[in-house]
C-alpha cells in the first residue's frame, strides 16, 4: 500500500494541489451583445485553468467579474448600479475581488479604478489571457489593469466553458473588432480593429459542439460578412498579403459553407450582417445548404439617405432595398430583422418618415430599436450636436416600435396553417406544459410538450400567433432529428 502511494507521489500531490485550488469561486455576469456573453465563456475557460469554478451565487464568490457594455449610456448606468450591489456584498465578504471586463473597461480605463473604489481590476476585450497575471497583481496589492487592444487576438486557441447553457445552442465567435466606424458607434473604440479567426479552429469548435450534443451554432462577429482569413492579421492589411495568401483566403461565404458541410445536421446561424459588406454569394450559400437558417439580422439604422451618410453607413436606401429584393428573390421565406436608431443628430420629421416608409417596404419580422445616445469619443459626439430633444426621440421611437409590431404581426400571420421546423430549446416561459424553440426564421414557437425533449427537431403546425410568437402543435419529428 505504502509502495503504491510512494510510486504515485507526484501524481497524488498534483491532485491534492488541484483540489485546493479548485475551491476558488468565480461569479461572472454579462451585459450587452452576444459577443460579450461569448467572451465570458472564454474568460471562464482561462480562469478554470487557474482553479476557478463558476458559481451562480454572488455571495459565495472569491472573484466577481462583470462583462460590460458601452453601446448606450443606459447600458453603462445599469452596470454602475450593479457595482453598488457588489459593494454591498463586499462589505459582508471583504476578501471578494471585483473586476470589470469588456467595453466599459476599455472605454474608461484607469478612470474606473479612480471612480469606482470597489473595482480591483480592469480588463479590456483583447486582454483576457493576461487575467492570471492581473490577479497576482491584485493579490500583491497593485493596480491591475490591461486595456491593450490587439491586432491578432481571436482566442481561437481557447475552448470556451459554456455558461448558462441549454446544451443545445451555442455562440462561436469568428471575428473581433469592427472597422466600419459608424459615427454613432463606440464599438470600434472599445473592441479595436477587425480581425478574423482561423477557420480550422472554428470548424473544430463546431465539431466539438456537435459531439457534445449541441444542435445549433451562431457564428458571431460585429460584422460577419467581412470575415476574411488569409493566415491571420488585420482585415485592413489584406492588400499586403502574398499572392498565395490571397488565392487561398477564406471569405464569409466560404466559411459558412465549410461549417454547413462539416456538420450537415447542425443548424447554422450568424450575426451580425452589415448591408454594405453583405454579398450575394452569402445569400446563395444560405440557399444551397438546408442547415443554414433562413434568417438575416440586417441593421439599417435609418431610412433616410442623408442620415445614413451622416452615420457613415456606406450604402444608400436604394442599395439596401435592392439587397432586400435579392434576398427575397433567392430565399423567398427568409426572415429579416433590423436595428434602428431614432433621433440621430439633425434627424428631421421627414427623415423619420423615410424610416417608417423603409419599414413599410421591408416589413421586417422583428427588430431592435433605440433612441440615439451620444457616446464620448465617437465622430458624432465630436462633430455633431445631439440636437433632437429627448421627447422627440422617444416619440419617434414609439412610432417605429408600433409599426414594427404591426409588421411582426403580419409576418407571424403568414405562418398560420403552415408547418415549421422547431429546435426545442427550453420550457416556455408562460407555461411549463409547453416547449419553446425557434423556426429557421428565428421566430419563437411554443407548443405542448407531449413526449418531445429539449434538443429535438420537431415539425409544428402553427394554429395561432401573437406578434412575437407562433403557437402550434407538434405533428412529428422533422427529417433532421
Ligand atoms: N454590428 C454590431 C452592432 C453593435 S451595436 C452588431 O453586432 O450587432 C447594436 C446596435 O445598437 C446597432 O445596430 C445600433 O442600432 C445600436 N446603437 C449603436 N450605437 C448606438 C448609439 N450611440 N445610440 C443608440 N443606439 C446605438
Ligand atoms: Fe458599430 Fe457600425 Fe461596427 S454599428 S459595430 S461601427 S458596423
Judge whether residue 328 has pLDDT over 70: yes
Delimiting residues of CATH 3.80.30.20 domain(s) in the chain: 169-411
Q: Read off the pTM.
A: 0.93
Name the band, by pLDDT with cuts 50, 70 and 90, for residue 23: confident
Cβ partners under 8 Å of residue 255, min gap 6: 174, 199, 202, 219, 227, 229
What distance lies between CA 16 and its chain's CA centroid?
Answer: 38
Q: Are 468 and 412 in contact (CB under 8 A)?
A: yes
For β-strands 195-196 and 175-176, DSSP reports them as: antiparallel
Helix (H), strand (E) at residue 447: strand 444-448
213-260: pLDDT as tens digits: 999 999 999 999 999 999 988 888 899 999 999 999 999 999 999 999
Instruction: Mention the CATH class of domain 4-146.
Output: alpha beta
How many angstroms separate the Cα of 353 from the Cα of each of 130, 384, 405? Answer: 49, 22, 17
- For atom 14 of ligand 1, the residue with the nearest CA is 339
Q: Which residue has the higher pLDDT, 481 or 71?
A: 71
133-169: pLDDT as tens digits: 999 999 998 889 999 999 999 999 999 999 989 999 9
Which of 70, 75, 188, 308 to mutate to test ligand 2, by most ligand atoms within 8 A of the CB atom? 188
Pocket-forming residues, ligand 2, beta carbon under 6 Å: 178, 180-182, 185, 187-188, 222-223, 274
Delimiting residues of CATH 2.40.50.140 domain(s) in the chain: 419-477
Nine-digit cell string for 354: 423615410
277-290: pLDDT as tens digits: 999 999 999 999 99
Angle subtended at Cα 315 by Cα 360 and Cα 194, rounded to the nearest 5 degrees:
120
Judge whether residue 1 has pLDDT over 60: no
Span from the CA of 209 to the centroid of ligand 2 (angstroms)? 29
Q: Which atom of ligand 1 is nearest to the CA of 297?
A: 8
Span from the CA of 301 to the centroid of ligand 1 (angstroms)? 8
- For atom 3 of ligand 1, the residue with the nearest CA is 222
What value does the mean pLDDT of the chain take?
94
178: region left, alpha or beta (phi > 0 left; psi from -120 to 50 alpha): beta
Judge whether residue 305 has pLDDT over 60: yes
Average of pLDDT values for 264-292? Answer: 97
Short-list 53, 59, 54, CA closest to 20: 53
Query: What was the pLDDT predicted at 117?
Result: 87
Delimiting residues of CATH 3.40.50.12160 domain(s) in the chain: 4-146
Residue 434 has, within 13 A of its CA and on its CB side, a CA count of 17
Instruction: Mention the CATH class of domain 419-477.
Output: mainly beta
Residue 219 has, within 13 A of its CA and on its CB side, a CA count of 32
Q: Are 102 and 115 in contact (CB under 8 A)?
A: no
Span from the CA of 42 to the centroid of ligand 1 (angstroms)? 23
Q: Are 161 and 39 in contact (CB under 8 A)?
A: no
Query: What was the pLDDT predicted at 236?
Result: 83
Name the band, by pLDDT with cuts 50, 70 and 90, for residue 21: low
Q: Are 236 and 215 in contact (CB under 8 A)?
A: no
Percent of the chain with pLDDT over 90: 91
Q: Which ligand is nearest to the CA of 380?
A: 1
Q: Which atom of ligand 2 is nearest to the CA of 272?
A: 7
- Give DSSP secondary structure letters for 93-132: -TT-EEEEEEHHHHHHTTHHHHH-TT--EEE-TT-GGGHH
Judge whether residue 16 has pLDDT over 60: no
Question: Where would I find the beta strands (DSSP E) of 165-266?
Answer: 169-173, 175-176, 195-196, 216-220, 228-229, 250-251
Cβ partners under 8 Å of residue 226, min gap 6: 175, 179, 194, 235, 252, 274, 277
349-388: pLDDT as tens digits: 999 999 999 999 999 999 999 999 999 999 999 999 999 9
Judge whether residue 12 has pLDDT over 50: no
List the CATH code of the domain at 169-411. 3.80.30.20
Judge whether residue 18 has pLDDT over 80: no
Judge whether residue 8 has pLDDT over 50: no
Amino acid at each position: 500500500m505504502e509502495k503504491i502511494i510512494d510510486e504515485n507521489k507526484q501524481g497524488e500531490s498534483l491532485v491534492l494541489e488541484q483540489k485546493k485550488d479548485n475551491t476558488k469561486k468565480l461569479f461572472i455576469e454579462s451585459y450587452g451583445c452576444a459577443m460579450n456573453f461569448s467572451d465570458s465563456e472564454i474568460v471562464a475557460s482561462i480562469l478554470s485553468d487557474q482553479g476557478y469554478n463558476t458559481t451562480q451565487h454572488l455571495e459565495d464568490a472569491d472573484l466577481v467579474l462583470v462583462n460590460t457594455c458601452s453601446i448606450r449610456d443606459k447600458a453603462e448606468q445599469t452596470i454602475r448600479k450593479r457595482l453598488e450591489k457588489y459593494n454591498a456584498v463586499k462589505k459582508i465578504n471583504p476578501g471578494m475581488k471585483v473586476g470589470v471586463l469588456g467595453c466599459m473597461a476599455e472605454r474608461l480605463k484607469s478612470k474606473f479604478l479612480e471612480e469606482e473604489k470597489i473595482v480591483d481590476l480592469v480588463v479590456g476585450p483583447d486582454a483576457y489571457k493576461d487575467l492570471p497575471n492581473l490577479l497576482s497583481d491584485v493579490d500583491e496589492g497593485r493596480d491591475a489593469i490591461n486595456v491593450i487592444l490587439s491586432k491578432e487576438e481571436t482566442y481561437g486557441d481557447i475552448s470556451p466553458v459554456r455558461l448558462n447553457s441549454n446544451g443545445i445552442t451555442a455562440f462561436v465567435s469568428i471575428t473581433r473588432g469592427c472597422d466600419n466606424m459608424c459615427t454613432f458607434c463606440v464599438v470600434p473604440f472599445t473592441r479595436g480593429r477587425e480581425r478574423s479567426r482561423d477557420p480550422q479552429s472554428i470548424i473544430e469548435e463546431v465539431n466539438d459542439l456537435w459531439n457534445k450534443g449541441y444542435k445549433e451554432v451562431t457564428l458571431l462577429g460585429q460584422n460577419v460578412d467581412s470575415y476574411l482569413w488569409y493566415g491571420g492579421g488585420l482585415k485592413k492589411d489584406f492588400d499586403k498579403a502574398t499572392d498565395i495568401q490571397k488565392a487561398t483566403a477564406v471569405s464569409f461565404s466560404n466559411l459558412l459553407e465549410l461549417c454547413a458541410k462539416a456538420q450537415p445536421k447542425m443548424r447554422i446561424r450568424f450575426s451580425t450582417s452589415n448591408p454594405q459588406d453583405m454579398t450575394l454569394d452569402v445569400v446563395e450559400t444560405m440557399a444551397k445548404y438546408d442547415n443554414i437558417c433562413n434568417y438575416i439580422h440586417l441593421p439599417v439604422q435609418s431610412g433616410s439617405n442623408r442620415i445614413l451618410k451622416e452615420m457613415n453607413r456606406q450604402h444608400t436606401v436604394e442599395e439596401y432595398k435592392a439587397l432586400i429584393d435579392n434576398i427575397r428573390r433567392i430565399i423567398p421565406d427568409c426572415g429579416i430583422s433590423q436595428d434602428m436608431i431614432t433621433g440621430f443628430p439633425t434627424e428631421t420629421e421627414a427623415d423619420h418618415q423615410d424610416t417608417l416608409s423603409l419599414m413599410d417596404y421591408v416589413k421586417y419580422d422583428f427588430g431592435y430599436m433605440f433612441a440615439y445616445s451620444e457616446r464620448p469619443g465617437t465622430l458624432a459626439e465630436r462633430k455633431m450636436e445631439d440636437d433632437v430633444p429627448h421627447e422627440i426621440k422617444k416619440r419617434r421611437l414609439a412610432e417605429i416600435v408600433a409599426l414594427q409590431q404591426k409588421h411582426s404581426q403580419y409576418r407571424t400571420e403568414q405562418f398560420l396553417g403552415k408547418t415549421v421546423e422547431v429546435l426545442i430549446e427550453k420550457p416556455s416561459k408562460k407555461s411549463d406544459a409547453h416547449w419553446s424553440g425557434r423556426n429557421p426564421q428565428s421566430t419563437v414557437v411554443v407548443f405542448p410538450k407531449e413526449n418531445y425533449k429539449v434538443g429535438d427537431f420537431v415539425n409544428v403546425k402553427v394554429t395561432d400567433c401573437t406578434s412575437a410568437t407562433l403557437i402550434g402543435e407538434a405533428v412529428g419529428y422533422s427529417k433532421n432529428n
